[in-house]
Structure 1
Amino acid sequence: MFNVAIDGTTSSGKSTLAQNLSKVLGFKRLDTGAIYRGIACRFKRLRMRKVNDKNIAKLVKDISIIVSFKHGMQHVIVNGIDETDFLRSEEISLLTSEISPYKVVREKVLGIQRRFAAKYNCVMEGRDITTVVLPNADVKLFITASPEERARRRYLQFEGKKGAPTYEEVLKDLKMRDQRDSAREFGKLAIAEDAVVIDTTNKTLDEVTKICEEIVRSKMH
């Protein structure tokens, strides 16, 4: 199988890039972040109040995760419940950032990721795909942009919504996430030595997709 691994900073555009790149290449795309978010949904459904070793161990022990595709869209089914429509709420985003650093959680997801990569030609994006999950991927990409540009993009996602944060609040939160992601014991955000770094600050999505497509196709021949 031919695997494209993508890592990158928060709001750098890596998820949208992975989606576009998988389409132009005709590959499957695994949104690993959605799997972690699915686990967070399960945590919420169990009405666990605190994220600690005891609760996380209980959560992972009894969890069942299935990744399926309907009309080309990835669905995450957790213990028989399709959580896809609930994955992107801010509450789940914050809960995911608390849960995902735990080693037992990452090991659970790691098995799903590697089985997927062994089965399909795929594009996989996340935080430690190039360094931990698929260290032998055929192509490794690291996507980033300036903090200000990433904050602007994220701010536009909230604009017009009730209780939307200010740009300054979004920028502050993003910088804190960057620091936290780079300091994690497990799932640490890092640039693989053989990864191609692409700064999307002054580039359109089409431009970035084209650049990455050319990199991938050059490795396929």
Structure 2
Amino acid sequence: MTPKTNAKQKRLVVTIDGPSGAGKSTISKILAAQENFTYIDTGAMYRCVALQAKKHHIAMDDEIRLARLCQDIDIHFQWENRVNRVFCNGEEVTEKIRTPEMDMLSSAVSAVPAVRKALVAMQRKMGEGGPVILEGRDAGTVIFPQAEVKVYLDASPLERGKRRYLEHQQSGQASSLEKVVEEINQRDLNDSSRAHSPLSPAADAHRLDTTTMDIPAVVSAITRLIKEAAADED
């Protein structure tokens, strides 16, 4: 997504972190379109690595082969009709990376230090110069710890499971709410207990529990933070 913005916002970095189903993608896309910021979905990048690893029969804990894969992988985003299309090695993988299997495989591959090192470098390069909104799990703690606006979204596991279950239904994926909530809890455990860059809010992040908040309310709260940061930059 190519930004067109004013001087006040030109270098702003906004990070939106949180667990699966907290609303990061939905909120980030709306804000990026609203504020004309570049949008980087860091989670999609790990999903691309997982997809390529599966394609080439690479184990999700084979650090040497995964490191080689990351050296040659090409990932880019294309904003089209309010959809963030994801391309990996010349192929559109927007739908392929959004499956329950990729949910779990991307969590596994994201725990590999060599993968994180390669993708963090790639993400920093993508976000150079701003203005940019990054969503993920370590955007505000590792990728851009100096970000002007850091947000950590959360919600109850049941609410997050309901949201993800609805996404599965809309995309025609067979699943049950009970199974999705179970997967959410397992993903939370995996992401928060990994040795490298575990899921955790930055000390200076603005924390929002979205369990009972609707989308406009969340967008409004973060928009206010962006405007305040832009005013400080002026």
Same fold (TM over 0.5): yes
- Matched length: 219
1:76 offset after TM fit, Å? 3.8
SS in 1 for 2:158: helix
* Contact 2:28/2:133 (8 A) holds in 1: yes
Partner of 1:7: 17
Distance in structure 1 (CA, Å) of the matches to 2:76 and 2:26? 19
Which one of the candidate residues 9, 29, 36 is aligned to 1:26? 36
Distance in structure 2 (CA, Å) of the matches to 1:20 and 1:50? 33
Partner of 1:220: 230
1:53 offset after TM fit, Å? 2.8
Distance in structure 1 (CA, Å) of the matches to 2:221 and 2:67? 42
Answer yes or no: is 1:163 the counterpart of 2:180.
no
SS in 2 for 1:67: strand
Distance in structure 2 (CA, Å) of the matches to 1:196 and 1:11? 18
Partner of 1:121: 131
Which one of the candidate residues 57, 65, 78 is aligned to 1:69? 78
1:108 offset after TM fit, Å? 1.0
Equivalent residue runs for 1:129-144 within 5 Å: 129-144=139-154
Partner of 1:203: 213
Distance in structure 1 (CA, Å) of the matches to 2:38 and 2:68? 32
Residue identity opposite 2:74 in structure 1: I
Distance in structure 2 (CA, Å) of the matches to 1:142 and 1:100? 19
Residue identity opposite 2:78 in structure 1: F
Partner of 2:192: 182
* Contact 2:29/2:39 (8 A) holds in 1: yes
Call closer, same or farther: CA 1:175–1:46 in 2, change over 3 Å: same
Partner of 2:46: 36
* Contact 1:12/1:150 (8 A) holds in 2: yes
Which one of the candidate residues 67, 86, 97 is aligned to 1:87? 97
SS in 2 for 1:84: coil
Query: What is the root-mean-square deviation in Å for CA atoms of aligned residues?
Result: 2.0
The unaligned stretches of length 5 or more in structure 2 are 1-10
Show CA shifts across 1:42-97 (max 9, x none).
Answer: 11221335642343234234x22232425364444433333334221222222212
Residue identity opposite 2:75 in structure 1: I
TM-score, L = length of structure 2: 0.85
Distance in structure 1 (CA, Å) of the matches to 2:129 and 2:103? 29
Distance in structure 2 (CA, Å) of the matches to 1:10 and 1:87? 14
TM-score, L = length of structure 1: 0.90
Distance in structure 2 (CA, Å) of the matches to 1:68 and 1:163? 27
- % identity of equivalent residues: 31
Call closer, same or farther: CA 1:210–1:70 in 2, change over 3 Å: closer
Distance in structure 2 (CA, Å) of the matches to 1:127 and 1:38? 16
* Contact 2:60/2:109 (8 A) holds in 1: no
Distance in structure 1 (CA, Å) of the matches to 2:120 and 2:205? 20
